[in-house]
Amino acid sequence: MMRSHFLICCVWLTATAGLAQDTPSAEVYPFGTIDLRFHETGGRGLEINKQRRGDGPFSHLQVNLFTDIAVGDDLIIFNQITLDPSSRSSPSSFLRTWAQWRLYSSRHGDVQLQLGKIPTPFGNYTERAYTDKNPLIGHPLMYHYFTSLRSNQLPADNGDLLDHRGSGSGDFGGYEGGGASSPRSGLPLIYDTCWDFGGGLIGSLWRLEYLFAITQGTLSDPRSGTVDTNDGQQIAARIGLVPFTGAMLRLSWARGPYLDRVVASSLPTGAQVEDYEQEIVGLAAEYEIRHLVIVAEAARNRWTSPYITNAGGHDQDLEVDGAYVEVRQKLGPGFHAAARWSALRFARIDDGTGRNRQVRWDRSVDRLEMSLTYWLNEMTLIKSGVQLNDLHAQDGDDHLATTQLTVRF
C-alpha cells in the first residue's frame, strides 16, 4: 500500500511539473505536510471520527501534498492530494484540483471564476481544516458526524428510522424501505472531507465577500467522483461582511437533491429522487482581539424523506441543528491553547406507535475538544489534546487523547 502511494505521489508531482513547463508564463509552487499521530481511545471515540474511506483526523500517518500553478497573472490551478495508509479507497479519491480565474480586479473588489473540485461552499471552517491551521486535531461535529439517514436507502416509516438512531457511523446494513443493500455510513450535515465537482463565482466588494456555486452533489453527500447519483444540482450561496478590523460575519445557504437514483423504484408513485432535498442555512462569526481568536458557527439543516410523517399522516421533514464555538489564545511565542465545543440537536418526530409521542429522530451529540500547540520552528508543529464525546443515551467511554507532530516542507 505504501509503495502504491509513493508511486502515485511521484506520478502526480511529475505530471503537474510537466504541465507547468509546457505552459508559457507558468510558475509552480509545491509544498506539503507530514502528520504523525499517537492516540489512546475508548468506546466509539475513534469510530465516530472516521470518514467514509476509513481515514480520519486521528490516522497514525498522513501526507498532504499541494501544488499551486500560476499561469500568467489571472489564472491559478490548485492541486491537493492526501496519502493515508488507513484509507479503504484509492489515493485518487483524495485528489482535489480546481482552477481559479480572475475576471475582474480593482482597488474596490474582485470577481473570480472557480471550476473543478471546488472548496466546500459553506460556512467558516474549510480554510481552517488543514492540519497546520486547525487549532484542534478533530473537526466540528456539523462538518463530519454521520447521522443515521442515508442517501442510498430509505427508512420504511418513522419506526424504522428510530430503530437505527446512533448507528450512522457504523456502516449499518439496513433500512426496510428499499435501496442499496451494501452497508454505508449515514449523512453528515456537511461532509467537508470530500469536495464536490462544480463551479461558481467568488469575490469581494469593499467590506463584503460573496460566493455563488453550482455543484453536482450536496453538502451532505458531495460527488468526489465524476459520476453523479441523480439528475439534480445543488445551488449554494454565501455572503460575508467585515464590519470592522478583526471581525467577520458570514451567512451561508445551500439546497439540492440528495437521494441516490438507486432508491427510485422504492419511491411513492409519481415521485422522483430529485423531489427530495437537503436545505441548510448557517451563520458564522469570527472575532480577533490581540492574542485571542473566537469563532462560532450555527446551522439549521433539513432533509425531506418520502415515508416520514407526523401523527396526522402528513409528510414531515427531518431537521437537525448544529453549532460550535472555538477559542484560541496565544500563551507565548509559538505556544497556543485552544478549545472547541460542538453539538448536534435533532428535531422530534412521531414515534409511529399511534400514541402521539414525539422523540428525537437521531441521538444528539456533544463534543468538547482541548489542545495545546507549540511551534518548534516555522516548519514543525507539535499538538497534544483530548476529545470528550457525549453520545446521548449510549453508554461507554468515547473519548480520545492524541499527540500530533506536523512537519511542513
Nearest alpha carbon to residue 221 among 252, 253, 197: 197
State CA 341 to chain mean position distance.
17
How far is Cα 31 from Cα 118, in angstroms, rounded to an integer?
19
> Can you give the pLDDT at residue 6?
40
DSSP state of 4: H
Mention every residue, 6+ apart, whose C-beta is less than 8 A from residue 249.
Answer: 240, 241, 243, 283, 284, 285
What is the predicted pLDDT for the residue at 396?
Answer: 67
The per-residue pLDDT for 109 is: 93
Q: What are phi and psi of 234, to 5 degrees?
A: -95, 140
Q: How many Å apart are CA 307 and CA 323, to the nearest integer?
A: 28
pTM given for the model: 0.91
**Beta bridge partner(s), residue 240:** 209, 250
Burial 353-373 (b: 16+ CB within 10 A, else e): eeeeeeebbbbbbebebbbeb
Strands 109-118 and 400-408: unpaired
- Spell out the residues 6+ positions from residue 238 whose beta carbon is closer than 8 angstroms to its own: 121, 122, 123, 210, 211, 250, 251, 252, 253
Element (H, E) at 201: strand 196-205
Q: What is the pLDDT of residue 199?
A: 96
CA-closest candidate to residue 48, choices 365, 300, 402, 325: 365
Q: What is the SS3 string spanning 381-402? A: EEEEEEEEEEECCCCCCCCEEE
- Contact status, residue 113 vs residue 103, Cβ threshold 8 Å: yes
- Predicted local distance difference test score (pLDDT) of residue 94: 85
On whether the CB atoms of residues 154 and 266 are closer than 8 A, the answer is yes
| Residue 69: closest CA among 103, 101, 99, 27 | 27
Tell me phi and psi for residue 376, to 5 degrees.
-65, -35
pLDDT in tens, the chain (409 residues): 434 444 444 444 444 555 555 555 789 999 999 999 999 988 888 999 999 888 999 999 999 999 999 999 999 999 999 999 988 877 777 899 999 999 999 989 999 999 999 999 999 999 999 999 999 999 999 999 999 999 999 999 999 999 999 888 876 777 988 888 777 789 999 999 999 999 999 999 999 999 999 999 999 999 876 678 899 999 999 999 999 999 999 999 999 999 999 999 999 999 999 999 999 999 999 999 999 999 999 999 999 999 999 988 899 999 999 999 999 999 999 999 999 999 999 999 998 888 889 999 999 999 999 999 999 999 999 999 999 999 987 666 789 999 999 999 9
Domains and CATH numbers, the chain: 2-408 (2.40.160.10)
Q: Cell numbers of 101, please?
A: 480565474
